[in-house]
Chain A
Amino acid sequence: MGQKDKDYYSITYQTKTMKQRRDVFFAIADENRRAILTMLAKENKPLTVNTIAADFDVSRENISKHIRVLSESGLVSTNFIGRENYVQLEAVRLAEVHNWIATFESFWKGKLHNLKKLVESKNKKA
């Protein structure tokens, strides 16, 4: 990631409203957060915040912050069992991400339909 991208993302992060911060795609735009999701998917079971943090070079506070963003976006849920905070993947939100390209496909289909109507009407007039 270049410096320009870093600036862009930190600005994005600071100026987004809470609603936008909870956006799934904002949540997965960060490398560490994607790594956390991948780790949870690989283990295929809830992991404690400490277990996750042990795998990263960044501070535990930093990991907690990332987990909060993931949790706000609905991609993970957190549950205290005893004194340990367990993080779990949420399949429904993941399915939305999985479905995202299908959403984009219908976007283009609609737009190309507009294009067809526009060009054909202009062609008939000419």
Chain B
Amino acid sequence: MKEQIKIEQFIEAPVDKVWLAITDCNLISEWLMETNFKPEIGYKCYFKMPAMPGFDGNIQCEVIDVVENKLLVYTWQGGWMKQPTTVRFTLQPKDDGTLLLLEHFGFEGILGNLLKRMMSGGWGKKIRTIIPSLIKQKL
């Protein structure tokens, strides 16, 4: 089971422009979702997204770390999550643009333990064979 999301995205724009887009609440609303976000450590905010399976659409956040043009970390807690997960953006100048790294982690406490125990309980094989067939169906 994959317990951490790590995505790299190159953006053809200087880091300060990318920084503005991930910290200004009006801009965040344009690419991510409606929010009252402020890049201030300890600030509590929300994200509002359309409901989808597994979500009522409400996400609570708290800003953990802010280093201008470099690093932004906040917690992320959807309705059913017992413990908050963590979202981390890392910005790095590269060539004529910015290399953005997004990491989303901390799922272990919510699903990980349960699934880990299930996997070791003889269900792993069943699930491993079912997932590829589910994916095939979706294609």
Q: Do A and B come from one complex?
A: yes
CB of B102 within 8 Å of the partner chain? yes
A37 and B118 CA atoms in complex are apart in Å by 8
SS class, residues of chain B in contact with chain A = mixed
Q: What count of chain A residues pass the 8 Å CB interface test?
A: 47
Instruction: Identify the closest chain B residue to A95 (Cβ).
Output: B130
Judging by beta carbons under 8 Å apart, are A115 and B118 in contact? no
Judging by beta carbons under 8 Å apart, are A29 and B114 in contact? no
SS class, residues of chain A in contact with chain B = helix
Instruction: Identify the closest chain B residue to A31 (Cβ).
Output: B82
Judging by beta carbons under 8 Å apart, are B134 and A99 in contact? yes
* CB of A118, distance to nearest CB on chain B (Å): 5
- Residues of B near any A CB (own CB < 8 A): 1-3, 5, 7, 9-14, 17-18, 21-22, 27, 30-32, 53-56, 79-82, 100, 102, 104, 107, 111, 114-115, 117-118, 121-123, 126-127, 130-131, 134
In A76-126, which residues have CB < 8 Å from any B CB?
89, 91-92, 94-105, 108-109, 111-120, 122-123, 126
In the complex, which of the residues B2, B7, B53, B115 has the most CB atoms of chain A within 10 Å of its own CB atom? Answer: B115
Question: Do A105 and B27 contact each other (CB < 8 Å), given the known contacts A44-B123, A119-B21?
Answer: no
Question: Do A5 and B130 contact each other (CB < 8 Å), given the known contacts A102-B2, A109-B7, A115-B22?
Answer: no
A5 and B84 CA atoms in complex are apart in Å by 12
Question: Do A98 and B115 contact each other (CB < 8 Å), given the known contacts A23-B54, A41-B123, A123-B13?
Answer: yes
